[in-house]
Structure 1
Amino acid sequence: MGARVVRMFRNFNLENRIEREISKEKPRSAPRHQLTQPTSTGQNDANTFSAEVSGAVHQKNDPLLLNLKSVFVESKDKAAGPVKSRKDLSADGGAKTRPIKFTLPNDSQGLANVQNIPHGKLTITEALKALGSHQNQPQTWTSQKISEEYSLNLKETNSLLEFFVPFQIQIIPPQTAKVKQLKGS
């Protein structure tokens, strides 16, 4: 019911209101800046202005050129050459790789298509094998031996052995003998 009343007031005398708005004088545009304002001669001044600007842009500026020549940027990077993508490394054989040391019998991680591993990298199965060997025999499998065996950085191997413990199970005994237990029904 309310929508009908609103529609009646909105459409009341619509044609007259439209006619008044159309017959009003149009608003004037904002004044232009002096440099972009066309003069009485017309288009010739605009062309000369654009020619002057383009000439200034393409003109040699000797002081700026000397400043540019005095700037020297030296970049030092740890990498010896340009960065290569994985495709480039595998195609030209430039990257040092090593064969896989250990795989699971049924290939549960889907590593069947991996033949060579870059130096400093491990597969999941190799990492688990190395960590398990170190945990079972820490005197035999030291961080030095693991880093040599798998071509890893010694610092990274020490961090791996210190912070990643895969098979550590801790059973926390109850604090008191008087622990409430659920009664079986």
Structure 2
Amino acid sequence: MGSRVTRLIRNFNLENRAQREISKTKPTAAPRHPSSRSPGEELPGEVHLKNDPLLSMLKDVYVESKDPDPQAEAGPEVKKVEEDTPRRALKYSLPGDPYGFCDVTDVPKGRLSLVEALTALNNHKRLPKTWTPEKLAQEYSLDPKDAKALTEFFFPFDIKIIPPKTEETQQIKDS
């Protein structure tokens, strides 16, 4: 109810007040400094004069441009990596083509595909005594240091349930 009253007071005689503000004389702008020029004015003649030292330096510059070859730009580095590193066949892959991973058939040694990484981490989590970092390194052609870091710092699907601090707090029960 109060908002209706304030809206009525605020909008009372709105058109007349707006017309009064529009018809007021506007303040004049401050005069410009004589050094500033408008865009249409001519520049002084010194701009059009030749500067011999700059002209001689400009004559020394020679620029030759060519369009880059798109295949040569991306090709050699990619081919070099593919040719230099020995590759191994995938151990595990996804069935079908759900995410576009099926076009990958092999990976460089020392690397893992996403599916292989998840499988290796899951195996290590389920059976840590069987799937040691050394066995993972041997199985997937990894550096032992990388395999140890993989098992030490990455935990797939690790859920921790923190118990409530007080008895008043309710906890969701598993069904």
Aligned with 2:134 (options 128, 144, 147): 144
TM, length-normalised to structure 1: 0.49
Q: Does 1:102 align with 2:89?
A: no
Aligned with 2:52 (options 41, 47, 50): 50
Residues in 2 aligned to 1:164 and 1:121: alpha-carbon distance in whole angstroms: 15
Q: Does 1:161 align with 2:163?
A: no
For residue 165 of structure 1, give the secondary structure of its aligned residue in structure 2. coil
Residues in 1 aligned to 2:134 and 2:78: alpha-carbon distance in whole angstroms: 28
For residue 172 of structure 1, give the secondary structure of its aligned residue in structure 2. coil
For residue 84 of structure 2, give the secondary structure of its aligned residue in structure 1. coil
Measure how far apart 1:134 and its partner are: 1.0
Q: Does 1:111 align with 2:113?
A: no
Residues in 2 aligned to 1:150 and 1:121: alpha-carbon distance in whole angstroms: 8
One-letter identity of the residue aligned with 2:90: I
Q: 1:5 to 1:139 in 2, by over 3 A?
A: closer
Measure how far apart 1:180 and its partner are: 4.6
Alignment of structure 1 residues 123-134 onto 2, 5 Å: 123-134=113-124
How big is each residue's C-alpha offset from its partner over 1:135-160, in whole Å with a ceiling of 9 and x where there is no partner?
A: 12222211112112212222222111
* Contact kept? 2:96, 2:102, Cα under 8 Å: no
Measure how far apart 1:102 and its partner are: 0.5
Give % identity.
34
Aligned length: 125
For residue 159 of structure 1, give the secondary structure of its aligned residue in structure 2. helix
Unaligned residue ranges in structure 1 (runs of 5+): 11-26, 33-37, 39-45, 59-83
Measure how far apart 1:31 and its partner are: 10
> What's the Cα RMSD here?
4.1
Q: Does 1:179 align with 2:168?
A: yes
Residues in 2 aligned to 1:174 and 1:50: alpha-carbon distance in whole angstroms: 83
One-letter identity of the residue aligned with 1:152: L
How big is each residue's C-alpha offset from its partner over 1:77-108, in whole Å with a ceiling of 9 and x where there is no partner?
A: xxxxxxx5225544xx3332111111133444
For residue 85 of structure 1, give the secondary structure of its aligned residue in structure 2. helix
Q: Does 1:85 align with 2:74?
A: no
139-148 vs 121-130, which moves further: 139-148
One-letter identity of the residue aligned with 2:130: T
Unaligned residue ranges in structure 2 (runs of 5+): 1-18, 29-40, 61-75
TM, length-normalised to structure 2: 0.52
Q: 1:140 to 1:5 in 2, by over 3 A?
A: closer
Residues in 2 aligned to 1:149 and 1:181: alpha-carbon distance in whole angstroms: 46
